[in-house]
A and B are shown apart, each in its own frame.
Chain A
Amino acid sequence: MHELSIALSLVDLAREEAEKHGGRVCALHVRIGALAGVVPEALLASYEMASADTPLEGSRLVIEDVPVVVYCPECRAERALSSVQVFCCAECGTPTGQIQQGRELELVALELES
């Protein structure tokens, strides 16, 4: 359960960014890849704890799940993975570990109120 550590980092980063732009944070938009090692539900619960007694208290955390996309050397194309247990091209079955997307752990945007 390291989502609390991640939520604390998120609070730090969001506070830093909010200070740059000014205003009160009412929502945070984050992208979490399927290979980021983070459980979205656990992050939501942790965020509430991490943001308590900070200027971010009461803000909404909006999580976008990012699926894994690999590059298939056979098809020469990017393919969505059907399962994180099977790193194969979904079209031709060629094994591939060339991850193009899915490791994201990103604060994309803030909604600020003045």
Chain B
Amino acid sequence: MSHEPRLVEVRKNILKQNDLNARELRRRFHEAGVFVVSLVSSPGAGKTTLLEKTLAALVSRYRVAALVGDLATENDAARLARSGALVRQITTGTVCHLEAAMVQQGLDGWEMDRLDFLFVENVGNLVCPASYDLGESLRFVAVSVTEGEDKPLKYPTIFNTADVALITKVDLAEAVGFDAAAALASVQSVRPGMKVLQVSAKTGQGMDDFLQLLEGGLHAARSGAAAGVAP
């Protein structure tokens, strides 16, 4: 039968183009010595407030920029720009996650070697961002105390793509009866050894540890050491 289909082996990553773009970004960031931190969480977990406080704390000592993903509005960028940091909104339209190409476009015209930190706030979503490498040095996944202790069990994939977990809004923990031990156990169940920080951007609780981790990461990256965080 001459019309019998023939099987041709491909063995390529479906998101090959995104991975190539992410690799290119990582090379650019590494060459410029910029430490790139991304944040993923569900909508309303407090990414923007955390970032607002982080930019305010770092901007006097470091050169800081932020890219903020959002489906429709530019409100987050306007809020963050008040810190004095360089801020740009990536409006994704109907796309529920950031892709490496959107980060590349977002950086257009920015000189990387004039930066120490670049923050990338993903679109609020704990599912889709898991599939896309953005070339970042460190990825945080944030869950707030109001979301319940079992959030990691519901979204194990995103926890397995992030480097560090953040429990946010810990100032509300008592009011909502948040069981920190149960939440930590959930994280460890889906990602044994994962580092977890508990923070409140509102009261400042845990912010020193968070900032120290960022500064440590920058210095490690600059001294040529691997940017990964020991569990």
Contacts and interface: CB of A to CB of B under 8 A. Distances in A.
Nearest to A96: B192
A17 interface: yes
B15 A6 contact: yes
Give the interface SS of chain B, mostly helix, strand, loop or mixed: mixed
B191 interface: yes
Contacts of B192: 87-88, 95-97
B44 interface: no
A7 B177 CA distance: 42
Interface in B1-27: 2-3, 5-18
Nearest to B188: A95
B11 A106 contact: yes
A35 B131 CA distance: 9
Contacts of A112: 5-8
Give the interface SS of chain A, mostly helix, strand, loop or mixed: mixed
Nearest to B95: A5
Contacts of A88: 189, 192
A3 B161 CA distance: 18
Given A87-B190, A113-B3, A13 B14 contact: yes
A105 B33 CA distance: 31
Interface residues of B, number: 37
Interface in A1-53: 1-2, 5-6, 9-10, 12-14, 17, 21, 23, 26-27, 30, 35-38
A91 to B, nearest CB: 16
Contacts of A75: none
Given A35-B157, A85-B156, A106 B7 contact: no
B5 A97 contact: no
A105 B8 contact: no
B130 interface: yes
A96 B231 CA distance: 12
A97 B8 contact: no
A13 B160 contact: no
B194 A97 contact: yes
B12 A97 contact: no
A37 B159 CA distance: 11
B193 interface: yes
A59 to B, nearest CB: 10
7 contacts: A1-B128, A6-B14, A6-B15, A36-B157, A88-B189, A107-B10, A114-B6
Interface of B: 2-3, 5-18, 95-97, 99, 127-128, 130-131, 153, 156-158, 160-161, 188-194
Given A17-B12, A111-B6, 15 more contacts: A9-B14, A14-B10, A37-B130, A37-B161, A85-B190, A87-B156, A87-B189, A87-B192, A88-B189, A105-B14, A106-B13, A109-B8, A110-B8, A110-B10, A112-B7
